[in-house]
């Protein structure tokens, strides 16, 4: 008997104002003691719903509509709340993406451990045990005395992990535990997790949209699409040869940015609408290998190459053979999908006219605590130029000063010393560091922002048409029908066509990628000269990142914009940017044309960033992907 047995589990959402949604359909799998299983797929494929259903954490309008879950011999689908409470946290614990925000803000970390021990009647010295647990997740014991708000996101997530492990559970459900964290932090948490699992021997169900991360860590991966499992095979086998076209598509998002030629690919389109009934294979609309039979016959999950696969063509062994495991071979895989984000660059970026110059800028923040003042230099002596039709990537860990630089450029803050000059306007040059009031407001039309979190960048109560109408009214004097028409054009220019379908929608009715497109359209509305994109893809699914990057690249070239692309991800910088600046603790440590900086990184910090990029191919070849200068 396996530790966790899931048989024919189905979950349906029956919300009141929308049609019912079959989020999980007839899913069966086993997890053995100590096994590390990855659950993958784009958002909306039903991963979290499945994970929550397994733990019986679903709340209305979600309902388990069929099937059985048994954990360690106990039937969870039948168990009462009392029994579940005993099991949860003791034998079965969880860490969510939001766990770091659900630590109790008003009590110290130590007290949170004490509460957990008390709630489950664990005897012994709290401090000693809590210290031991913190050491497990590589945190200093001083963290015990801290309040959650004094810790960084990564540290809080480690505390959440330590709490989840506090009672030595047999199975831990991790739902996107590192999504949204910095690459370096993400890397160190995952490394620690892998070690812990080896030491303590718990089983893991790891839910993620990031195939790269999961393949590196898991024994076995299950790929989910449209509420069904489409591939369930050992991780090594999947890397050697992914069998489902969807899995292959997901793998297309990874590449080693150090290679001389880098290509990533994406799967056009979105997952199917599960409130409608579908005949045939759910992936047909997006599948490059689809045949007539796929439209009418729903494939079964059948044994194939050491696991299970749900694809008619693969089951007849007619898919083109792709042997992954070398980064070179992956380049070939990407071409299976028609849309490939490969960007042309101008021959020499120095030709392009300067639009904005940052010269020897330092920003010092002074904070006063009682009588002592302390000052930090968020940016130290930074100089660079943004040029027309050129993307400049600003790369660095969180806290390295990237967003401070963005605020200096947009005039939200002023530098302590140094100059910011805008030379891209029609009028005379502007000293941005001296603008105020009306002049600052006028300047902003030239400098627009794309935000990191597309869910917070659009007001949930305002329609898309309203969001787009504001810059049009304020900067172009357009109102009424003229504004609406222009808004529609803008939507089409960012790939949201036909625009009529989107104008009157509310943000929550759009997917993350669509929202990010709307945010981009709004930024384009005043016809700016400079576009600042602050980590525009880090909150998006890996599978649609390439799509948004391609859009941004096209816009830069089409509108001859100067773009500052802020990121901690060197792969996307390699794909989009002409020039790279690497920022470490406020200082520019490396800069130059993208290929030179990334291909032959000299700075230790740049190398650390490179090594932190998830690279599934490294495991298959048994080495880190080799840098090729």
Partner 1 sequence: MSTPAPAVPAPGTDTEGVQAAATAVARTTRLPGWFVILWRNRKCRIGLLMLAAFVLLAVFAPLLAPYDPHEDAFPTSLGPTGSHWLGTTAQGEDVLSQLVVGARTSMLVGLAAGVLSTLIGLVIGLTAGFVGGWVDEVLSFLINLGLVVPALPLMVTLAAYAPVRGIWLIIVVISVTGWAYGARIKRSQVITLRTRDYVTAARFAGDGTARIIAREIVPNMTSLIVLGFMGAALAAIGGEAGLAFLGLGDPLTVSWGAMLNQASLGGAMLTGQWAWLIAPGLALSLLITSFTLINFGIDALSNPHLRED
Q: Which residues bind partner 1 (CB under 8 A)?
A: 15-17, 57, 59-61, 85, 89, 94, 96, 98-99, 101-104, 112, 115-116, 118-120, 160, 163, 410, 441, 444-445, 448-449, 451-453, 456-462, 467, 470-471, 473-475, 506-509, 519, 522-523, 525-526
Q: Which is nearer to ligand ADP, 46 or 212 (CB)?
A: 46
- Does position 177 interact with ligand ADP (CB under 6 A)? The reply is no
* Minimum CB–partner distance for residue 251 and ligand ADP (Å): 18
Choose between 30 and 278: whose C-beta lies nearer to ligand SF4: 278
| Number of residues near ligand ADP (by CB under 6 A) | 14
Tell me: does residue 289 bind ligand SF4 (CB under 6 A): yes
CB contact at 8 A, 366 and 375: yes
Token pair, residue 318, equals 């007619």
CA angle 359, 569, 607 (to 5 degrees): 80
Tell me: does residue 52 bind Mg ion (CB under 5 A): no
Location of structure tokens 């709630």 = 119
Q: Is 48 in the site for Mg ion (CB under 5 A)?
A: yes
Q: How far is the CB of 311 from ligand SF4 (least distance, A)?
A: 3
Quick one: what does residue 23 bind among ligand SF4, ligand ADP, partner 1, none, with the CB cut-off 5 to 8 Å set by partner type? ligand ADP
HSE-CB for 604 with a 13 A CA cutoff = 0
Q: Which residue lies nearer to ligand ADP by CB, 59 or 461?
A: 59
Q: Using the minimum distance from each CB to partner 1, give the nearer residue, 338 or 437.
A: 437
Closest approach of Mg ion to the CB of residue 57, in Å:
13
Beta-bridge partners for 534? 566
From residue 18 to residue 57, what is the string marking binding to ligand ADP with x (rule CB under 6 A)? ---x-x-----------------x-xxxxxxx--------
Asked whether 300 and 219 are in contact (CB, 8 A), the reply is: no
CA 548 to chain centroid, in Å, comes to: 13
Output 63 or 289, the one with its CB closest to ligand SF4: 289
The answer to the question of residue 173 lying near ligand ADP (CB under 6 A) is: no
Nearer to partner 1, 94 or 357 (CB): 94
The two beta strands, 62-71 and 4-13, are: antiparallel
* Phi, psi at 381, each rounded to 5°: 50, 50
CA distance 95 to 166: 12
| Nearer residue to partner 1 within complex by CB, 435 or 519 | 519
CA distance 547 to 103: 35
- Check binding of 208 to ligand ADP (CB under 6 A): no
Burial 368-398, CB ≥16 within 10 A → b, else e: eeeeeeeeebbbbebebbbbbbbbbbbbbbb
CB 54 to ligand ADP: min, Å? 12
Scored b (16 or more CB within 10 A) or e, 304-328 reads: bbebbbbbbbbbeeebeebebbebe
- Structure-block tokens of residue 218: 């898991």
CB of residue 207 to ligand ADP, shortest distance in Å? 7
Which listed residue (54, 312, 430, 544) binds ligand SF4 by CB under 6 A? 312
Assigned token pair, 32: 């053995």
Question: Rule CB under 6 A: is residue 278 a binding residue for ligand SF4?
Answer: no
48 or 543, CB closer to ligand ADP?
48
274 binds, among partner 1, ligand ADP, ligand SF4, none (CB under 5 to 8 A by kind): ligand ADP
Peptide bond into 61 cis (omega under 30): yes
- Ranges within 232-261 binding ligand SF4 (CB under 6 A): 245
Residue 431 · residue 485 · CB < 8 Å: no
Measured in degrees and rounded to the nearest 5, phi and psi for residue 8 equal: 50, 45
Interaction of residue 224 with ligand SF4, rule CB under 6 A = no
Phi then psi for 540, rounded to 5 degrees?
A: -95, 160
Instruction: Rule CB under 6 A: say whether 96 interacts with ligand ADP.
Output: no
């Amino acid at each position: 008997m396996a530790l966790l047995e899931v048989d024919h589990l189905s979950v349906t959402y029956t919300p009141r104002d929308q049609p019912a949604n079959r989020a999980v359909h007839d899913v069966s799998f086993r997890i053995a003691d100590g096994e590390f299983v990855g659950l993958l797929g784009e958002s909306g494929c039903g991963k979290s719903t499945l994970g929550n259903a397994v733990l019986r954490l679903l709340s209305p309008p979600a309902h388990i509509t069929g099937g059985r879950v048994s954990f360690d011999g106990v039937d969870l689908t039948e168990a009462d709340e009392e029994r579940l409470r005993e099991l949860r946290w003791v034998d079965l614990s969880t860490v969510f993406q939001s766990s770091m925000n659900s630590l109790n803000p008003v009590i110290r970390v130590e007290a949170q451990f004490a509460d957990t021990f008390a709630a489950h009647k664990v005897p012994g010295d709290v401090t000693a045990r809590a210290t031991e647990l913190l050491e497990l997740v590589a945190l200093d014991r001083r963290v015990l005395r801290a309040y959650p708000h004094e810790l960084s996101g990564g540290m809080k997530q480690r505390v959440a992990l330590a709490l989840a492990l506090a009672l030595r559970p047999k199975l831990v459900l991790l739902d996107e535990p590192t999504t949204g964290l910095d690459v370096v932090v993400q890397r160190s948490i995952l490394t620690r997790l892998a070690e812990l699992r080896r030491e303590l021997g718990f089983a893991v169900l790891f839910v993620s949209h990031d195939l790269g991360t999961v393949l590196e860590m898991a024994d076995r991966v299950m790929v989910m699409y449209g509420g069904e499992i489409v591939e369930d095979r050992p991780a090594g086998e999947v890397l050697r040869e992914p069998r489902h076209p969807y899995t292959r598509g997901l793998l297309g998002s990874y590449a080693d940015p150090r290679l001389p030629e880098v290509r990533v690919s994406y799967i056009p389109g979105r997952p199917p609408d599960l409130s409608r009934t579908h005949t045939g294979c759910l992936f047909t609309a997006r599948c490059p290998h689809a045949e007539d039979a796929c439209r009418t016959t729903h494939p079964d999950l059948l044994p194939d190459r050491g696991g299970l696969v749900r694809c008619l063509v693969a089951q007849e062994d007619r898919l083109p053979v792709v042997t992954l495991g070398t980064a070179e071979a992956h380049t070939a895989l990407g071409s299976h999908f028609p849309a490939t984000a490969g960007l042309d660059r101008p021959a020499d970026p120095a030709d392009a006219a300067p639009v904005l110059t940052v010269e020897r800028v330092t920003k010092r923040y002074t904070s006063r605590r009682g009588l002592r003042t302390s000052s930090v230099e968020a940016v130290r002596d930074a100089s660079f130029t943004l040029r027309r039709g050129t993307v400049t990537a600003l790369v660095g860990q969180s806290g390295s000063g990237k967003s401070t630089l963005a605020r200096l450029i947009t005039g939200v803050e002023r530098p302590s010393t140094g100059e910011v000059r805008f030379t891209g306007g029609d009028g005379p040059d502007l000293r941005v560091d001296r603008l105020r009031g009306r002049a600052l407001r006028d300047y902003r039309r030239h400098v627009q922002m794309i935000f990191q979190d597309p869910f917070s960048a659009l007001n949930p109560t305002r329609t898309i048409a309203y969001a787009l109408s504001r810059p049009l009214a304020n900067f172009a004097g357009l109102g009424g029908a003229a504004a609406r028409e222009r808004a529609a054009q803008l939507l089409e220019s960012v790939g949201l066509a036909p625009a009529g379908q989107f104008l009157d929608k509310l943000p929550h009715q759009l997917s993350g990628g669509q929202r990010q497109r709307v945010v981009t359209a709004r930024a384009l509305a005043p016809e700016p000269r400079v576009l600042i994109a602050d980590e525009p893809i880090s909150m998006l699914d890996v599978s649609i990142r390439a799509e948004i990057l391609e859009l941004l690249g096209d816009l830069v070239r089409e509108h001859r914009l100067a773009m500052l692309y802020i990121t901690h991800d060197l792969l996307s910088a390699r794909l989009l940017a002409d020039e790279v600046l690497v920022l470490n603790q406020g200082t520019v440590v490396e800069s130059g044309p993208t290929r030179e900086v990334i291909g032959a990184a000299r700075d230790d910090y740049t190398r650390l960033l490179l090594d932190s990029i998830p690279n599934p191919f490294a495991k298959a070849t048994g080495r880190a992907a080799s840098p090729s200068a």
